[in-house]
Chain A
């Protein structure tokens, strides 16, 4: 069944329409990649889906687990199991990582009617997940994203994904700003989280990431529309011919 269903979605930013009618369906456990040139609407799509203020849906619908989410606030969508790994994670000066992570996880648990985690139990869970991503205790003690390197920020995003256990994760240019080693660690972390109960939408400019996170489907976004869909070989085609070639073919 489809976890995420996007139907004829149009959206504007500051009164300018950026998405002109997106159709996309992601089934349970599938990983889809969205590729596209700069300015094609990739980041806009991730913000529209996650409900960021200022990204206005003007038409169409988005269903998460069969329920429309376009009227829901960003935090409600998050608690329903939608997760966005940010391209540029935001610094929260003075906010301890542990408080931030626990507030996030508890918000989700409350929504599910489950008991919140206590501080001590939570530290253990976080440490175990952090270890898999090579995140040190020292980094967990620092303020959220403050003074983190590019690679550390991206790993921290994946840590949050591991803790929040989303049903639908959107990874917005997770590869940007990463060297090969960091890319491998982050991809490994993402692959560990692949699960029949979890779908992913991997947004990227380059094919490179998709050698590590192998997608079930690839879609080319251009000018606010999906111009072509295919399997992972489509990504290689982009690598070879560039987006211009794809556009022509479409």
Chain B
């Protein structure tokens, strides 16, 4: 039992070790604090948006005002004062850049420090990056090369200007304006994010990725991502996130919409490492995110892979609406909570199309005093003949003071549907830990090894370039904790 106590201590110590907690000293331009129609108009004007976009935002804002805060999750959330937040913050130097050479060196240095060099020579081979700093995109790499393949990869603010027809057609088509409280808020005040369009028959020649960074104090980040893949197209997209270490909670309410048409495939991976707060629960990001993909076309496929290690609170259910015949939805998740973190995460698989299939593999690891909940819905509608789902939820506990919860919702309205659900809960045993220690590994290395073994099925779904990084991240988040 001694080892367990030591493990817990090590975990608690580790929570002070957030590597990305630094702040970039950069002059920024902000909207006045608070939220009202003028702020919505301010953001829209800043982005030079057309009238239809502003109206869309205002409609969302008016909806949001009437909506109650959701309280169904297993999360203890301090009331949020929406008037005490800055909804727009942009580095001053950011106006109208033509090339990377013009990006403020402070910003380049920030991303360099985060391990994301933005100069194309230094980049990971074959990965294009969009870097979003507070409310704006500061750089997008490899645009030209992608352009030659016909792939559009740009900040969504730019897409609204340049590809209004595509944006009009698909924005809000998967997640309607009034879908939920946080998505409605996002619709009203989103500032930037990434836009991806893959035309018919094109396999995107490189991994696309967006790195989100919240820098300013008291600033919310409301990013909006829209990915459209036409018939027989393919794209693999990855997002990463970090934020400085601050005592206050900061709100991150993103919306991600994916659209896959006939025979199209989207692979969306997330490595989420927002600042988790300290071990007493002070500070940290509120990560309230709505992600949904529409498998509209027959045989289309959307695969979500997420590695969630950060944030004080995570509220997130990347989902698939499987409309196409024989379409496929996948959800692979590793959620690590430590210290006072809370996570309520999972997925929704909505089967509408005949022969649609879904797979859910969720691995939750709780340590410290954290609470980790898997919440998932599998729904087979009348139209979805022979639809199938397989779900596996495994929880791993470290110590005596954390919690792991599994809340599956299963609805089948079609007698030919088949749903399987498997769940396990276990601990890293003292025996396993001692076995590794006896082979000379430090406790930290041992825990990292065991936890990565536990998560292996999910980790192998990550693009190669990021798998190693994610493995290390899990080790760091749990330093010393079992897994």
Q: Which of A's residues lie within 8 Å of B, judged by CB?
A: 50-54, 73-75, 78-79, 83-84, 86, 89-96, 99-100, 103-104, 107-108, 111, 143, 160, 164
A111 near B438 with CB under 8 A, answer: no
B441 at the binding interface (Cβ < 8 Å): yes
Q: A50 is contacted by which of B429, B438, B456 (Cβ under 8 Å)?
A: B438
Known: A53-B3, A107-B445. A96 touches B439 (CB 8 A): no
Which chain B residues lie closer than 8 Å to A108 at the CB level?
440
A53 near B440 with CB under 8 A, answer: no
B450 near A53 with CB under 8 A, answer: no
Known: A93-B453, A94-B454, A99-B449. A164 touches B439 (CB 8 A): yes
One digit per residue, 1 when the CB lies within 8 angstroms of any chain A CB and 0 when it does not, for chain B 424-457 equals 0000011110111111111101100110111111
Which A-chain residue is minimally distant from B448 (CB atoms)? Answer: A103
A93 near B454 with CB under 8 A, answer: yes
A53 near B434 with CB under 8 A, answer: yes
B453 near A94 with CB under 8 A, answer: yes
B2 at the binding interface (Cβ < 8 Å): yes
Once the chains are docked, how many angstroms separate the CA of A91 from the CA of B434?
12
22 A–B pairs (Cβ distance < 8 Å), ordered by A: A53-B3, A53-B4, A53-B430, A54-B430, A73-B437, A75-B438, A75-B443, A78-B439, A86-B435, A89-B435, A90-B431, A93-B453, A94-B454, A103-B436, A104-B441, A107-B439, A107-B440, A107-B442, A107-B445, A143-B453, A160-B439, A164-B439
A92 near B2 with CB under 8 A, answer: no
Q: B432 is contacted by which of A50, A90, A103, A104 (Cβ under 8 Å)?
A: A90
A75 near B1 with CB under 8 A, answer: no
Which A-chain residue is minimally distant from B456 (CB atoms)? Answer: A94
Once the chains are docked, how many angstroms separate the CA of A79 from the CA of B430?
19
Once the chains are docked, how many angstroms separate the CA of A96 from the CA of B453?
7
Q: Could you tell me the distance in whole angstroms from the C-beta of B352 to the nearest C-beta in chain A?
A: 34
A84 near B449 with CB under 8 A, answer: no
Q: Could you tell me the distance in whole angstroms from the C-beta of A53 to the nearest C-beta in chain B?
A: 4
Once the chains are docked, how many angstroms separate the CA of A130 from the CA of B126?
39
Which chain A residues lie closer than 8 Å to B456 at the CB level?
94-96
Q: Could you tell me the distance in whole angstroms from the C-beta of A26 to the nearest C-beta in chain B?
A: 19
Once the chains are docked, how many angstroms separate the CA of A91 from the CA of B452?
14
Which chain A residues lie closer than 8 Å to B445 at the CB level?
103, 107
Q: How many residues of B contact A (CB 8 A)?
A: 29
Which chain B residues lie closer than 8 Å to A92 at the CB level?
432, 435-436, 449-450, 453
One digit per residue, 1 when the CB lies within 8 angstroms of any chain A CB and 0 when it does not, for chain B 3-42 equals 1101000000000000000000000000000000000000
Once the chains are docked, how many angstroms separate the CA of A50 from the CA of B434?
9
One digit per residue, 1 when the CB lies within 8 angstroms of any chain A CB and 0 when it does not, for chain B 309-337 equals 00000000000000000000000000000
Which B-chain residue is minimally distant from A73 (CB atoms)? Answer: B437
A90 near B441 with CB under 8 A, answer: no
Once the chains are docked, how many angstroms separate the CA of A111 from the CA of B439?
12
Known: A54-B1, A54-B2, A90-B431. A104 touches B453 (CB 8 A): no
Which chain A residues lie closer than 8 Å to B441 at the CB level?
75, 103-104, 107
Q: Could you tell me the distance in whole angstroms from the C-beta of A162 to the nearest C-beta in chain B?
A: 13
Which chain B residues lie closer than 8 Å to A104 at the CB level?
436, 439-441
Which A-chain residue is minimally distant from B5 (CB atoms)? Answer: A53
- Other contacts beyond A90-B432, A94-B456: 19, CB < 8 A: A53-B2, A53-B6, A73-B437, A74-B434, A75-B437, A75-B438, A78-B438, A79-B440, A86-B435, A92-B449, A93-B454, A95-B449, A95-B452, A96-B453, A103-B441, A104-B436, A104-B439, A107-B440, A107-B442
B438 near A100 with CB under 8 A, answer: no
Once the chains are docked, how many angstroms separate the CA of A79 from the CA of B456?
27
Which chain B residues lie closer than 8 Å to A54 at the CB level?
1-3, 430
Q: Could you tell me the distance in whole angstroms from the C-beta of A143 to the nearest C-beta in chain B?
A: 7
Which chain A residues lie closer than 8 Å to B439 at the CB level?
78, 100, 103-104, 107, 160, 164
Once the chains are docked, how many angstroms separate the CA of A95 from the CA of B459?
12
A95 near B442 with CB under 8 A, answer: no
Once the chains are docked, how many angstroms separate the CA of A86 from the CA of B434?
11
Which chain A residues lie closer than 8 Å to B449 at the CB level?
92, 95, 99-100, 103
Q: Could you tell me the distance in whole angstroms from the C-beta of A105 to the nearest C-beta in chain B?
A: 8
Q: Could you tell me the distance in whole angstroms from the C-beta of B136 to the nearest C-beta in chain A?
A: 41
One digit per residue, 1 when the CB lies within 8 angstroms of any chain A CB and 0 when it does not, for chain B 156-193 equals 00000000000000000000000000000000000000
Once the chains are docked, how many angstroms separate the CA of A52 from the CA of B436?
11
Once the chains are docked, how many angstroms separate the CA of A96 from the CA of B4?
24
Once the chains are docked, how many angstroms separate the CA of A104 from the CA of B2?
22
Once the chains are docked, how many angstroms separate the CA of A94 from the CA of B432?
13
Best-surrounded residue of A54, A75, A89 (most CB of chain B within 10 A): A75
Which chain A residues lie closer than 8 Å to B429 at the CB level?
90
Once the chains are docked, how many angstroms separate the CA of A52 from the CA of B446?
15
Which chain B residues lie closer than 8 Å to A95 at the CB level?
449-450, 452-453, 456
Which chain A residues lie closer than 8 Å to B442 at the CB level?
75, 107
Once the chains are docked, how many angstroms separate the CA of A94 from the CA of B446?
13
Best-surrounded residue of B446, B453, B454 (most CB of chain A within 10 A): B453
Which chain A residues lie closer than 8 Å to B454 at the CB level?
93-94
A78 near B2 with CB under 8 A, answer: no
Which B-chain residue is minimally distant from A110 (CB atoms)? Answer: B440
Which chain A residues lie closer than 8 Å to B437 at the CB level?
51, 73-75, 78
A53 near B1 with CB under 8 A, answer: yes
Known: A107-B440, A108-B440. A94 touches B435 (CB 8 A): no
